[in-house]
Structure 1
Amino acid sequence: MMRKLIRTFRVDDTDDHVYPVAARVGEWAVPGAFVFRFAEQDPATWTGGHRQAFLTGFLGTETFGWSTLVVVAEIDEAGYKTVIERLAHYLVAVYGAPGLEAALPYAREEVAYAASLCEHPVNTVLAVQRESSPDGIQENYRTLREQANWEGEGVRIWKPVPTDPS
């Protein structure tokens, strides 16, 4: 059975220059806002690459680096389970989850949330914008859809399309 999940995507090498660690192209990804919930600092005080990761990053599940864009892709069941397991191990190793058994439900929830963003056709590009508020972290997603070629040239033009937050 095939599912949909998000993969990291790039149009240039900007991610290599703005994030503390950039995800590789093609990694399975999750929104990754949980990283900022574990932080002991107010996101408003962050600067540089950490701030950029908070504002616009998706977390790759191989390098655990950040990507500005992701694309909707198909994944088989075995791959989906591997993403969950890799994320659970990360929660244990980096965030001190007491063990794999304790981390797995949280990893499943994060990967399921990432999959819920994939109601769009395969190859739809997604971007996120985050902000911190008294109610917590707010995320707004938008899609970038390929437009018709411009002036008959073989150039892809991408256009932001607001996504309904509900």
Structure 2
Amino acid sequence: MKLARAIHFDESDMRVYASPARTGEWCISGGFEFSNWTEGDLTGKPRQAFANGWLGLETFGRATFVAVTALEPAELEALTDLLAEHFVTYYGAPSAEAARPVAQEEIGQMVELCEDHAPNTLLTVARELTESGVREAYRVIESSDAGLDQFAIHGSLDDEPHHH
């Protein structure tokens, strides 16, 4: 089973998102956050979160890039609980139990998205508002193309210099 973790190449996420996800945290699309948005909501930092942000499941901040990573079933359970709690706290779900199926579905969609990709594959998301609501498109950046093998495994760019 695979899911994706937030990954940062520079400080840009710190600047563009009101609430940035932290490096290494598990992420899902989190498009549900925008389900009732209109053009009027799409300004400043919220607009960036809408346009390109993945949702971190610990901080509930946003990240531009995520890297596909193997996920343990036990971790999946814990993440589902976190998201269910989030639905109770922020979206007025009556209880974590009631919110759990929705949380499972949200995370399940992300697991499905990651399933076909090798570990360390990078994903980006692009959203737009259409007549029928929010449209999401995903882009895949193979790790070999990006030369990120070191980075994705060690989570640090300063292990050794890279020459391309």
Could you say which TM-score interval applies, normalised by the shorter chain? 0.7 to 0.9
- Checking the alignment, whether the CA contact within 8 Å between 1:72 and 1:125 is kept in structure 2 is yes
% same residue: 40
- Checking the alignment, whether the CA contact within 8 Å between 1:36 and 1:43 is kept in structure 2 is no
Distance apart, 1:155 and its partner CA:
3.8
Residues of 2 paired with 1:62 and 1:22: CA distance?
11
Alignment partner of 1:42 is 2:38: yes
Relative distance call for 1:155 and 1:125 in structure 2 (3 A) is farther
Structure 1 residue runs of 4 or more that deviate by more than 6 Å after TM superposition: none
Q: Which has the higher strand share?
A: 1
Q: Could you state the TM-score of these two structures normalised by the residue count of structure 1? A: 0.85
Distance apart, 1:44 and its partner CA:
5.0
- Checking the alignment, whether the CA contact within 8 Å between 1:44 and 1:132 is kept in structure 2 is no
- In structure 2, the residue matched to 1:160 is none
Aligned positions of 1:23-62 closer than 5 A: 23-37=21-35, 39=36, 41-43=37-39, 45-62=41-58
Alignment partner of 1:131 is 2:139: no
Distance apart, 1:15 and its partner CA:
0.5
- Checking the alignment, whether the CA contact within 8 Å between 1:43 and 1:51 is kept in structure 2 is no
Relative distance call for 1:19 and 1:72 in structure 2 (3 A) is same
Q: Which has the higher helix share?
A: 2
Alignment partner of 1:144 is 2:136: no
Alignment partner of 1:16 is 2:24: no
Residues of 2 paired with 1:123 and 1:71: CA distance?
5
Residues of 2 paired with 1:96 and 1:36: CA distance?
16
Distance apart, 1:135 and its partner CA:
1.2
Q: Could you state the TM-score of these two structures normalised by the residue count of structure 2? A: 0.86
- In structure 1, the residue matched to 2:111 is 115
Structure 1: state its 5+ residue gaps.
157-166
Relative distance call for 1:66 and 1:155 in structure 2 (3 A) is farther
Structure 2: state its 5+ residue gaps.
148-160
Corresponding pairs, count: 149
Q: What are the Cα deviations for residues 115-151 of structure 1, in whole angstroms up to 9, with x where unaligned?
A: 01111100000001100101111111011123287xx
Aligned positions of 1:44-83 closer than 5 A: 45-83=41-79
Relative distance call for 1:18 and 1:77 in structure 2 (3 A) is same
- In structure 1, the residue matched to 2:151 is none
